[in-house]
């Protein structure tokens, strides 16, 4: 694999990615319904960005996860693992049955609530404790510079997660080292476990803070709109491990629980399982929203 060249987005591709994300959400809900554990709010908010990256923008082959030339993707909000598992499944690595059977089953586990790279080879970094992904990403990007690598490093954090101080140490060092092969995506869904980020611990003005730490900051106004996600990713400079420039930060404004109406924007759906009646209602909601979206395509 060498550096992937990506043509500018066309609407047919956007629609295909939207359909991919619809399938990912269905699989995610079904997986969480079956295993009884999840963090659906944040897992649903990140689908478009995680989907666009894994289906189109990253140099990533789900069946060749340890290829040395792959782009590195770190999910720092490791509790949202099931979105990744669902993507890996939709891309052909695992069946739903396999994931359910091998989820947190003691010494046979292949999947856990929090990401683990030893169990699941498509996972780049074992995570769970918040504020760890970004410092690790800085180290990976420095290794890329030393190795004159073509691969890039993308790390996705939550927004509440940015309250952890270790992130700000890493934001400082990434700005200091001017890592041109590093991209940060903040899944800015505005909610954390017990309430709005603005009232639990305000992180705004996030754009100005990131800029002050030496980052090139982009904002996606609606990170659950695939066209906006693709346009933002298309507009990024090609990752370059050798050229010193500001690392890229994307504030991806999303909605927690997106596309399941009774979960959308509802802090109660941060974590937990989902009952049968709720699962059925959620799947209906997904389908309704999907049909509405399709109806706007013409």
Quick one: tokens of 122? Answer: 């498509």
Find all residues with CB under 8 Å of 168, minimum gap 6, and list them: 213
Running DSSP on this structure, what letter comes out for residue 120?
-
Using CB under 8 A as the binding criterion, the count of chain residues that bind another protein stands at 33
**Which residue, 132 or 188, has its beta carbon nearer to another protein?**
132
Quick one: tokens of 142? Answer: 């420095």
C-alpha–C-alpha distance, residues 180 and 198, integer Å: 31
Running DSSP on this structure, what letter comes out for residue 296?
T
**Which residue, 141 or 210, has its beta carbon nearer to another protein?**
141
Task: Give me the sign of the Cα torsion angle 87, 158, 292, 218.
Answer: negative
* Interface positions, 61-90, toward another protein (CB under 8 A): 68, 72
**Contact predicate 154/58, CB 8 Å:** yes
**Contact predicate 87/51, CB 8 Å:** yes
State the binding string over 152-181 for another protein (x if CB under 8 A, else -). -------------xx--xx-xx---x----
CB of 149 to another protein, least distance (A): 8
CB of 166 to another protein, least distance (A): 4
**Contact predicate 265/50, CB 8 Å:** no
In the list 49, 50, 113, 142, the residue contacting another protein (rule: CB under 8 A) is 142
C-alpha–C-alpha distance, residues 189 and 253, integer Å: 6
CB of 240 to another protein, least distance (A): 16
**Which residue, 194 or 242, has its beta carbon nearer to another protein?**
242
Taking contact as CB under 8 A, which single stretch among the options 103-111, 120-128, 218-226, 284-292 is the one that binds another protein? Answer: 120-128
Site residues (CB under 8 A) for another protein? 68, 72, 117-118, 124-129, 131-132, 134-144, 146-147, 149, 165-166, 169-170, 172-173, 177
């Amino acid at each position: 694999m060498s550096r992937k060249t990506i043509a500018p987005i066309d609407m047919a591709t956007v629609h295909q990615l939207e359909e991919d994300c619809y399938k990912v959400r269905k699989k995610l809900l079904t997986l969480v319904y079956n295993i009884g554990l999840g963090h659906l709010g944040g897992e649903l908010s990140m689908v478009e960005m995680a989907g666009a990256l894994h289906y189109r923008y990253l140099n990533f082959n789900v069946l060749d996860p340890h290829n040395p030339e792959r782009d590195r993707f770190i999910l720092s909000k490791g509790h949202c693992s099931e979105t990744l598992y669902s993507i890996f499944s939709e891309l052909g690595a695992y069946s739903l049955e396999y994931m359910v059977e091998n989820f947190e089953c003691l010494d046979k586990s292949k999947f856990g609530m929090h990401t683990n790279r030893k169990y699941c080879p498509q996972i780049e970094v074992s995570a769970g404790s918040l504020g760890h992904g970004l410092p690790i990403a800085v180290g990976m990007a420095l290794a890329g510079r030393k190795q004159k690598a073509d691969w890039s490093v993308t790390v996705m954090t939550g927004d509440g997660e940015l309250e952890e101080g270790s992130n700000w140490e890493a934001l400082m060092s990434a700005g200091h080292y001017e890592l041109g092969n590093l991209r940060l995506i903040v899944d800015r869904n505005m909610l954390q476990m017990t309430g709005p980020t603005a009232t639990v611990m305000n992180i705004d003005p996030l754009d100005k803070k990131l800029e002050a730490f030496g980052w090139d900051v982009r904002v996606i106004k609606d990170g659950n709109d695939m066209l906006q996600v693709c346009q933002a990713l298309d507009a990024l400079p090609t990752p370059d491990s050798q050229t010193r420039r500001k690392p890229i930060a994307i504030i991806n404004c999303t909605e927690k629980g997106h596309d399941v109406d009774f979960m959308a924007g509802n802090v109660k759906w941060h974590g937990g399982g989902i009952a049968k009646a709720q699962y059925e209602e959620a799947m209906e909601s997904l389908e309704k929203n999907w049909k509405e979206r399709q109806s706007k395509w013409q």
